[in-house]
Amino acid sequence: MNQPKIFNIQRFSTHDGDGVRTSIFFKGCPLHCLWCHNPESQKYESELIFYKHKCVQCKRCTTVCSCNEMIKGKILYHREKCFQCGICIDHCFYDARELAGKEYSLLELYKEIKKDFIFFENSHGGITLSGGEVMAQDMDYIEKLCKKLYKDGISIYIDTCAYAPYEHFQ
């Protein structure tokens, strides 16, 4: 069973189904639509996101990573050289960098979701699996997660474009 990568766990969602929900956003989508609401979800692998507007040009990233350099007083991030090691993230005090895509074991993800059970009970909410494309993930992982949550009486919605193998829906 492969562990899919998740790029966001959004708590207290009120627009992704009934009641208060926790939306789990998986990385990876076969479509790559230009109008995608979550472009950071399109690739299946983790990727470094650089928020240029948050960068204050402190130069800390240039001292720890060769993918960042100072040219004419501006930080230049060389995306094509980046191995997503995360060193520059640890040295950025202004949250100008973020690694989108973290692996969660089934138990780790369940524990994250369990933190919100009280909200689901009181609002008749639950979880929404989204993405990227949740139906293009490892379905063994998705099925085990859903069965575990279903046992606990948690409502599960799946937000899908349905561009995935037919077997995944069976």
Give whole-number Cα distances, 12 to 19, 26, 116, 121, in Å.
9, 17, 8, 13
> What is the per-residue pLDDT across 106-120, written as a single tens digit (0 to 9) for each?
999 999 999 999 999
Pair 50, 97: CB distance under 8 Å: yes
Phi and psi dihedrals of 24, rounded to 5?
Answer: -105, 120
This prediction's pTM: 0.83
Q: How confident is the model at residue 1 (pLDDT cuts 50, 70, 90)?
A: low
pLDDT at position 20 over 90: yes
Q: Where are the alpha helices (DSSP H) in the chain?
A: 60-64, 87-91, 106-114, 117-123, 139-151, 166-169
The residue length of the chain stands at 170
The token pair at 150 is 């279903």
- Provide the 10 A C-beta neighbour count for residue 47: 18
